[in-house]
Amino acid sequence: MAVMDTVVALVEGAVQGKRGRGSRRGTISWKGIPFAAPPVGEKRWHAPEPVTPWPGTLECFDYGPAPVQEKLFTARASGRFQPRSEDCLTLNVFAPTTESVTPRPVMVFNYGGAYILGGTSTPIYDGSYLARSRDVIVVTVNYRFGPFGFLDLSDYSTPERRFDSNVGLRDMIAGLEWVQRNIGAFGGDPDRVTVFGESAGGSAVLTLLSTPAAQGLFSRAISQSPAPELIVSKENAQIFADEFVRLVADPTRRRGPERTEEPLDPADVARIVDGTSAHELLRIGNKLLGFARAANLSNPMPFAPTVDGEYLPQTPLDAARDGNTLPVPTIIGNNKDEGELFARFWDIMPDAAQALVGVDDPEIKMELELLYPGERDQVRMSADATFWEPTIRFAGYHSETAPTYVYRYDYAPAVLNATGIGATHATELLAVFGIYRDPIGVGLAAAGSWGSTKRITATMQSNWTWFARKGVPSPAWPAYRKDDRRVMILDDPSRVVRDPDGARRAAWERVHVPAAVLVEATR
């Protein structure tokens, strides 16, 4: 079989990649390919613009800079961090070394990080193992986040200074457009593109399914552990933008926006934000996170896609309910112990009491409290309210538009089970990307779980890539429908269960779905 050349001619210019060595032997990677012009200077808060073609051959041997964030979150190894820059719109392609007779399926990954951190250089997102073991093309895409990607300043636009909404979401779509233009040069099939992501990346997949501009750019979707309600209303986006600019102008500011405050002048806004360094904008963004938590708004996170009525017309849940999501086959699911990561290491989820805010019916509230009786159940209640319940709701809606496959990921290696962390948030990524055989994951496998980690990796990669090829994950995995609610429990071994945790699902459904609709559904 012919061997691929490391030099590939793209629409924008030629790129040279590197052949993998050691455990990555049998692959080629092209890293740090620019897919849009640098969003710097007055292109801050602009939709991504076409990259300037380059002469000659661009060496794409290492990842591009990470988006602007705290240095801690850019670690690549002990004491080694990825450089950070606003000039971050690059992507990476991982492919098998050999050429294929027919075009290979393409899997495009969006990372997680609550829309405030992340980057493709994070070691767990190395696409080499998945590409080689399952004969697919893997693409990982950098996108802007935090104030640089999801602060909506569009109300302050003037003819002289434009601010676009949802630029982080537009980055993802620009990455998918690049795939349509160029993936054939790597042996990929532009008609079989699967977009997948985890956590905020999984939420982004649901948002892409709800974004008209994404029509035709992908043919399958996989959403891993999304928080479907991680979204910002236009009204709250205006509050966050106003407070952010006032904080930039006066970093000592101690109070939030008041009705008596004078409206901001758009010309002043442009002068203030354009004259501020990226480091300072990041610092102010961190202060805005604190403001959002204290402001008691319906959207507690200020940085997420904004329902602006134009680029993003509806929330993903509303779009799915109304039949307006793209008719794309979708895998969607959560991890059994989703909340343990946050309870132990990253306190950003609402606690159990906050999860019940808005449950006005005392009977339903009591029912939910009885369904989560133990101390650890309080962690699960919080995670269910944030991740699982809205995910199941989205799946039920979207299943009426396109085939939908629901999973619960139950597998955990022995060491994570022993600590009580279990199958927590993001642990399925170790299996999807084949990281249990990489130095960063091998310790978990070697501690009594060598065989089971090999089997769960095969299970996850087989389901994910067969779905990328055929649009169905497995003959043994039935589609989800609201009349039977069959869910694949991904474990060692896997099994199909009808409506797992059905009592909890039904109780949450009574919170969010009008009683008249529930009565009609039971007829």
Q: List the catalytic residues.
A: 199, 338, 425
Structure tokens at 84: 């950070």
Two tokens at 254? 């101690």
Is the C-alpha dihedral spanning 191, 192, 198, 199 positive or negative?
positive
Place of tokens 């949450």: 508
Q: Both tokens of residue 275? A: 């004259």
DSSP string, 326-337: ----EEEEEETT
Starting from the edge strand earliest in sequence, which strands make up the sheet with 27-34, in order?
18-19, 27-34, 90-96, 137-141, 104-110, 188-198, 220-224, 330-335, 404-409, 486-490, 495-498
Cα(336)–Cα(424) distance, rounded to whole angstroms? 7
| Beta pairing, strands 14-16 & 57-59 | parallel
Phi-psi region of 339 (alpha: psi -120 to 50; beta: other; left: phi over 0): alpha
DSSP state of 449: -
Q: Count CB atoms within 10 A of the CB of residue 306.
A: 25
Closest of 428, 392, 401, 397 to residue 329, by C-alpha: 401
